[in-house]
Amino acid sequence: MPSFDIASSVDLQILDNSINTVKKEIATRYDFRDTTVKVELNKKDFIISLEVNSDMQMKQLIDVLISRSMKQGIEGSAFDFSKDAYPSGKVVKKEVLVRNGLKQEDAKKIVKMIKDGGYKVQAAIMDDIIRVTAKKIDDLQEVIAKCKSGNFEIPLQFVNMKG
């Protein structure tokens, strides 16, 4: 039976490359000259630590982070900016969580949307992926189209398509 997996993952090497690109761009920008700027990636926990002198620079740094990551192929929705920036001495710090893997609640929302859609498919949650199987590939393609149009606020990848 044809099947595919729905996943939400960020390749660590691509993320590391985009962080290095951000560091290079910030180093050459005039508006960041003679200021404290730190961009560090915690590879184990998928957390990016940002540190700058002001709130305005923080907004600019986040814009650079999103645009450079998107050019590398990482969707902007992979970053969780919900934690507020906080002042620490003379600098402003912010931790940005990188969403990696489907959380159980997100997986349940996606499965519910698939089941409510009345498609002739079976969807099963397996750890941090969702396996979708059907008798026809056309049914699977309908589910992929529906998932792409659904607003889940997380990046989704459709992998392991087997016909």
pLDDT, position 162: 86
The pTM of the full predicted model, rounded to 2 decimals, is: 0.83
Other beta carbons less than 10 A from residue 144's beta carbon: 15
Q: Minimal CA–CA distance to 92: which of 53, 131, 48?
A: 53
Beta bridge partners of 96: 48
Tell me the CATH class for 3-8+101-162. Answer: alpha beta
pLDDT, position 1: 87
Tokens for 86, please give them. Answer: 């906080």
The domain 12-98: what is its CATH number?
3.30.70.990
> What one-letter code names the amino acid at 41?
L
Query: Each residue of 115-140: pLDDT tens digit?
Result: 998 889 999 999 889 999 999 999 99
- CA–CA separation, 88 and 51 (whole Å): 9
| CATH topology agreement for domains 3-8+101-162 and 12-98 | yes
Region for 20 from its dihedrals, namely left if φ exceeds 0, alpha if ψ lies in -120 to 50, beta otherwise: alpha
For the chain, the straight-line distance linking the first and the last C-alpha, in angstroms and rounded, comes to 7
Tokens for 4, please give them. Answer: 């595919």
Domain residue spans of the chain: 3-8+101-162, 12-98
Ranges of the chain whose pLDDT falls below 50: none
Question: Is residue 22 exposed (0-12), middle (13-18) or buried (19+ Cβ within 10 Å)?
Answer: buried
